[in-house]
Amino acid sequence: MNQQTLCNLTDLAAAVPDGAKLVVPADNCGVAMAATRELVRRGVRGLHLVCVPVGGLQAEILIGAGAIATLETAAITLGEFGPAHRFVDALRHRRIRMLDSTCPAVHAALQAGQKGLPFIPLRGLIGSDLLASRTDWKVIDNPFAPGDAIAVLPAINPDIALFHAPLADRAGNVYIGRRRELLTMAHASKQTFVTVEAISEQDLFDDPKLAPGVVPAIYVSRIALAKQGAWPVGLPGNYGSDDAAISRYVQSAKTEDGFRRYLNEWLGEAVVTA
């Protein structure tokens, strides 16, 4: 791993430019919350956020902080903790451009980006109301069976994939385990930024148990060490979510003022402006 690949959280966040198309995983895959805090702290703006396939607390905080211009996802959900208040408020007041999608559509379009394809067909969208709102999705005739309609979606080619993982090594390889969508994200993106719980001195490909779940260093642009870097969201197989902290967020975020107070405390700064 060269010195440019291994960096601190501040430098990792600084390398995400305003207006970037940023792809992130669902809460059960390894969410880079420590890096998200640094993005908010530096005041990133104009992001096109793609959630694979749904977003949670990470997307909700970025929306509330004014970092998101376009949101592409199948859903934003905080599950049993309650509504994503800042997302709902931003949608109601049209502060974000919403690209409604479905879980299969997000995965398929990202796989097209992974394979270098300009678009990908997806049968299940036919008859959906989404086709009326997603003008970038088309319905064409199956070229092998005229009269057989099928939807086609443009590939998703993110500028940056961002996620949190358990382990990286000094060569720049990253262990993700069975979360193969993280590998797809890395393949489809121009750059991949990863925060990790630990950095191993051993090459991960030398361990036959770890090697099948490793993203090769060739796909990884930056790695930052961040212990408990998914908190308050959990990192499956390593630690659970901090339910009390997430519940407190949801209660605070019911109002704009409450969200700002929470954000100021989270960032450890006196003032946060939208």
Task: Note whether residue 127 is domain-resident.
Answer: no
pLDDT at 4: 72
| Residue 214's CATH number | 3.40.1080.10
Task: Note whether residue 13 is domain-resident.
Answer: yes
Task: Note whether residue 164 is domain-resident.
Answer: yes
What whole-number distance in Å separates Cα of residue 83 and Cα of residue 66?
Answer: 18
Task: Note whether residue 81 is domain-resident.
Answer: yes
Total count of domains within the chain: 1
Helix axes 243-252, 256-267, angle to 10 degrees: 140
Question: What does the pLDDT look like over 88-143, one tens digit per residue?
Answer: 999 999 999 999 999 999 999 999 999 999 999 999 999 999 999 999 999 999 99
pLDDT at 272: 41
- Give the bridge partners for 97, in sequence order: 70
**What residues make up the domain containing 54?**
6-118+155-266
Task: Note whether residue 123 is domain-resident.
Answer: no
Task: Note whether residue 21 is domain-resident.
Answer: yes
pLDDT at 2: 63
pTM greater than 0.75 (yes/no): yes
Task: Note whether residue 135 is domain-resident.
Answer: no
Task: Note whether residue 128 is domain-resident.
Answer: no
pLDDT at 1: 62
pLDDT at 271: 39
Positions of the chain with pLDDT under 70? 1-3, 269-274
